Amino acid sequence: MTQSSDTTSYKDIKQTVLDRIRSGAWPPDALLPSEQELAVEFSCTRTTVNRAMRELAEEGYLERRRKAGTRVLSAPQRQARFTIPLVRDEVGALGGTYRYALVSTETGLAPEWLAARLALRPGQTAAHVRCMHYSTNTPFQFEDRWIIVDSVPQVEQADFTSVGPNEWLIQTVPFTNVELTFLASRADETVAGFLDLPKDEPVFTAERITWLQGQPVTFAKMYFAAGYRMTTQF
Amino acid sequence: MTQSSDTTSYKDIKQTVLDRIRSGAWPPDALLPSEQELAVEFSCTRTTVNRAMRELAEEGYLERRRKAGTRVLSAPQRQARFTIPLVRDEVGALGGTYRYALVSTETGLAPEWLAARLALRPGQTAAHVRCMHYSTNTPFQFEDRWIIVDSVPQVEQADFTSVGPNEWLIQTVPFTNVELTFLASRADETVAGFLDLPKDEPVFTAERITWLQGQPVTFAKMYFAAGYRMTTQF
DNA sequence: AACAGTTTCAAGTCTACACAAATTGGAATT
DNA sequence: AATTCCAATTTGTGTAGACTTGAAACTGTT
């Protein structure tokens, strides 16, 4: 059989199911017909129904369990997806000209709070890199990053004067797990200075921890300039 | 044919491809073999390869174009997925006892800034609901919400003394589009009072706009108590 | 009534194949 | 040399059918 415009595609099914959920025809907790039955209704194969329902479940609308069937989630656990761009790209997308500047680098014993946070072994060393990202010469982000030397030995030879540590890391080491945290912090002397705002000002802050197969790779705190908004649509 | 443990599943293929990307065997921008070729290599059907590659593309590792083929994304545009729970569930997950309290409700002409933000027609009215969410009697979140009466006429009869406007809305109106923004704001007199913290303190803030098929439904500002962290792992 | 074993059903995944749609690259034409 | 057109290639999506897996429901036993 062909799938010309008269055929029901998995997208059509998704839309129809969504409409039924939204219209209340299939209210929360309702048990949906089985894939087999839906396949008959939409006159397509179960494969096609399966794809539609699987995706709707991934998107947080449905809950599926073998034998138990498919039901509508009462509180749609919809998830916001934030695409985390490179600062360079983000600045570009906002219409600015990107500029990078290294602030400081030094390597030494990881401070206690970092060792605790990343569960480091005693005596492990870390490279501490601080740098600035500008958008058309106004401060955009202050980055305060630690890179675990044992996990990334190449960092000892790295030169961060023209390439930021983030871009360098992406090119150099892969990662398997990330923990990303957003919070509001208060600008201390240093952050206020670099971001060109009054001390104690609220600063949108992102913390990012990256692992490679259980090995901690890097910890980064990113302080954003005043008025920064992290937005997503879905 | 059966798919017992000797068969290659789409998950195996995903893992293998990821390993090759991470090991550098398939570096950024590299053009991958076609699905046909991979199917031969993994001795499975193209359907199975297709599913693996499609999912990897959705997850931001690959870029696929018909005829052009599949290539490795240089800067893996990995996206963070935040599951946005109900405040009640979030408090529960953190081990607290949830309590809700209505602060104020009033309905009237939408203020100018709101009309501008939601592209309201002149003269549209909105219900303004302010409420508090507590975790074991300590302030957790202050919610400041507007609900567009034209889009949700039932709001005129709603009673928010025991059920929060968010939970009420979820039960009452569906939505099709959401814009979610995180930012750091400064606690004004009101917010500081409700969250029991000093004035001008940094406050992690979420703004959420919800539409139903182009119609604005609600605008909410949610101010979180001191020390709040929005975290995700991926 | 409680438990263990079995059946049954719905989703999960795979095979094998076909046609669709996009886009590239080269051939033919201007 | 530039442009238009066409064929080949690769991903996208569908059909049809089968086996697998997990969990619910039923069964008989203690």
Q: State the DSSP string of B189-216.
A: HHHHHHHTS-TT-EEEEEEEEEEETTEE
- A170 touches B at CB < 8 Å: yes
A174: three-class secondary structure by DSSP: coil
Give the residue from B102, B162, B98 showing the smallest Cα distance to B128: B102
Return mean pLDDT, chain B: 91
Nucleotide nearest to B45 (CA to C1'): C15
Residues B86-114, mean pLDDT to the nearest whole number: 92
pLDDT bucket at B7, cuts 50 / 70 / 90: low
User: Which among B81, B203, B232 has the least Cβ separation from residue A184?
Assistant: B203
Q: Which nucleotides of D are covered by protein (CB under 7 A)?
A: 8-24
CB under 8 A, 24+ apart: contacts of A115-121: A117/A209, A117/A219, A118/A148, A118/A209, A118/A216, A118/A219, A119/A216, A120/A148, A120/A216
Contact across the interface for A180 and B228, Cβ inside 8 Å: no
| DSSP label at residue A150 | T
Query: Which tens digits make up the pLDDT trace of B127-146?
Result: 999 999 999 989 999 999 99
User: Which among B80, B180, B204 has the least Cβ separation from residue A184?
Assistant: B204
pLDDT, block means (10 residues), chain A with 234 residues = 60 95 91 95 96 95 95 80 83 91 94 95 94 94 96 93 92 87 95 94 96 93 94 87
pTM of the model: 0.84
* More confidently predicted of B189 and B174: B189
- A15 touches B at CB < 8 Å: no
Whole-angstrom distance, CA of residue A92 vs CA of residue B210: 28
Tell me, what's the pLDDT at A233? 85
Distances (CA, A) of B54 to B65, B71, B197: 11, 12, 48
